[in-house]
Amino acid sequence: MRGPDGPQEAVVRTLDTLGTGACLADEQGLIVAVNTCGERLLARPAADLVGRDAHELLHRTSCGEPMPGGRCRIRDTILGGGTQQGEDEWLERGDGTLLPVGWLATPCDVGAGSPATLILFHPAGTRKRPVQQSPADGRLSELERLALLAETTTLLTSTLDIHEGLRHLIGLVVPRIADWAVIDLIGERDEVRRFAVAQAEGDIVVFREDLQGPMPPVLQESLMPLSRALRGVASSFAGPETYQGPPDSGIAVEQRRLFEATGMHSAIVVPLRSLHGVLGALTLGRSDQPERFAAMDIALLEDIARRAGLALENARLYQRQRKVAETMQRHLLPKLPRSPDRGMTVRYLPAPDASHVGGDWYDAFTLTDGATALAVGDVVGHDLEAAAGMAQLRNMLRAYAVSQQKPPSKIVEWLDQATLGIAEVSMATLVFARMTENAGQCELSWTNAGHPPPLLVTREGVARYLTDGQGILLGVMPEQVRPDATVELAPGATLILYTDGLIESRARSLDEGMDRLSRHAAALAHNPLEVFTDELLARARPPDNDDDAALLAVRYMPGWFS
């Protein structure tokens, strides 16, 4: 599939698997993407099609004249929704010749936030018989089957929330080809759970929660259809008569209950397979539709199940990677030291995308001379490698800071030199600070290695960034001497260390993000520290930021101050 880069690129690319021409049009009728077969049939490269009005560019009368928009059924579908199909239409190819086509147009959700229409077309003269409307027995025409497979692929690949994807899948097949849809999933410990039992009531899909939930284990010796499917053996027809005899397993008992409760008289059970095993089973059943399923229906359902199995495996791998990355990072992030004169809170928000988890970190610990060390940083890169690099960096920083009573700049210079030969970190940003108290005064000294500057807010609500002590990020020039900076903290002042996930936005500049953070911090200065931190995170973080974010807030509170 050819089309522009964007959120739907992976979705539309999968339509190349269809054995017919296919293109996607947006709600204005502009071509969004076209598959390889479509390029070949139209004798036009994707670059000449994408972004053009499909009707104006392609649709012609049999005499080669432009087709009036008011007579175009395909355009009606694009603009008005619904599904239509037909023959006797003519498209102009790139060489000027006319291509007679049969076509089907149907709404298609590509997960990009805007409606789209999937248009399937084939040369009308290459078929032995014309494509007919769906017959009275409820069976789908060939193009309708292709459209269903395309919609299935689109829905399942447009989300990494497999539960959402499978529920959308149910909405596609019920009641189009079945009255009931049942999905059974196998967990990581081989336990079976009935994820969904759904029936269409008008335009609404209703889920029967009383029939969902845990299932008995799969027995290897069971010859019943669902047990065979859950072992990956084969697809099978099933009906209430299948379970009239003595049950050979607990699953057979549940299946008998299912058929009695739903009134299904005919069903097909197929495995949900991945490249590495069986993930579950998909069952479609008919109760209101009088026709029994036929062999041709098994082929369609197996194709749907194959796509669902691959999507399910991808979603599980995604969730597993995300869980590992989050768990690893959370376990590596430290507990905060306690002090009677200082309040301290921290917040960490993982990225919504697993591929962005791992680089942001913070640290706070007590040094041998009684000072408190504070750090916040961001390792360049994402996911598990960044989380592992963060752990190495944090541990080395702790070792240097605890063993050497030196200014922050010297500690970071040693750390920078060590990253070349010890830590598997290419580049990173960092603010490292020491907070000390002497004779009733609190002093902060710090150095900044290419990180967003700390923010200091007074008790009265005056906010300013600590822009001194700036140096380049780690991993660029490890031999460079780094500067230190110092500032005195007044009673009630709040120091905020944070990562760029709190200020960066695709819609605003970095300066705007920093201004947003300082204004909200100043407005919240009178709040207790826990409330201050929660509200600041909620108000300041841009809604379109998809990176992880860390925030460390320290409030100086000498004993006489409440």
At 355 the pLDDT is: 46
Higher-confidence position of 100 and 88:
100
Identify the pLDDT of residue 128. Answer: 36
**CA atoms of 388 and 426, how far apart (whole Å):** 12
Q: Which of 337-341, 343-347, 452-456 has the highest mean pLDDT?
A: 452-456
Q: Higher confidence at residue 69 or residue 412?
A: 412
Which is more confidently placed, 269 or 112?
A: 269
Size of the chain in residues: 562
Mean pLDDT for the stretch of residues 534-546 = 85
**pLDDT of 6:** 46
CA dist list (Å): 362 to 24, 63, 398: 46, 71, 12
Above 80 in pLDDT, residue 440?
A: no
What local confidence, expressed as pLDDT, does residue 126 receive? 42
The tens digit of pLDDT for each residue in 123-170 reads 875 433 333 334 444 566 666 666 676 666 666 666 667 777 788 788
Q: Which long-range contacts (CB under 8 A, 24 or more apart) does 95-103 make?
A: 95/43, 97/43, 98/60, 98/62, 98/64, 99/41, 99/42, 99/123, 100/124, 100/125, 101/21, 101/41, 102/127, 102/130, 102/131, 102/143, 103/74, 103/143
What is the rounded average pLDDT of the residues 396-404? 92
pLDDT, residue 400, reads 93
3-state DSSP percent of the chain in helix, strand and coil, to 5: 35, 30, 35
Burial of 464: CB neighbours in 10 Å, binned 0-12, 13-18, 19+? middle
HSE toward the beta carbon, residue 20, CA cutoff 13 A? 22
- 244 vs 164: CA distance, rounded Å: 35
User: Contact 556/493 with Cβ under 8 angstroms?
Assistant: yes
Rounded CA-CA distance 272/544 in Å is 35
> What is the Cα–Cα distance from 173 to 179, expressed in whole angstroms?
8
DSSP readout, 313-374? HHHHHHHHHHHHHHHHHHHHSPPPPPBTTEEEEEEEE--SSGGG-S-EEEEEEE-TTS-EEE
Contact 428/380 with Cβ under 8 angstroms?
Answer: yes
Per-residue pLDDT reduced to its tens digit, 305-330: 888 877 777 777 766 766 665 665 55
Tell me: pLDDT of 515 over 60: yes
Percent of the chain with pLDDT over 70: 81
The string of pLDDT tens digits covering residues 168-219 is 788 888 888 889 999 999 987 889 999 999 998 877 889 999 999 999 999 9
Q: Domains of the chain, with CATH numbers?
A: 9-155 (3.30.450.20), 159-324 (3.30.450.40), 333-556 (3.60.40.10)
Q: How far is residue 338's CA from residue 340's CA, in Å, rounded to a whole number?
A: 7
Is the pLDDT at 12 greater than 60, yes or no? Answer: no
4 has pLDDT over 50: no
- Report the greatest alpha carbon distance in the chain: 96
d(CA 366, CA 150) in angstroms, rounded, equals: 59
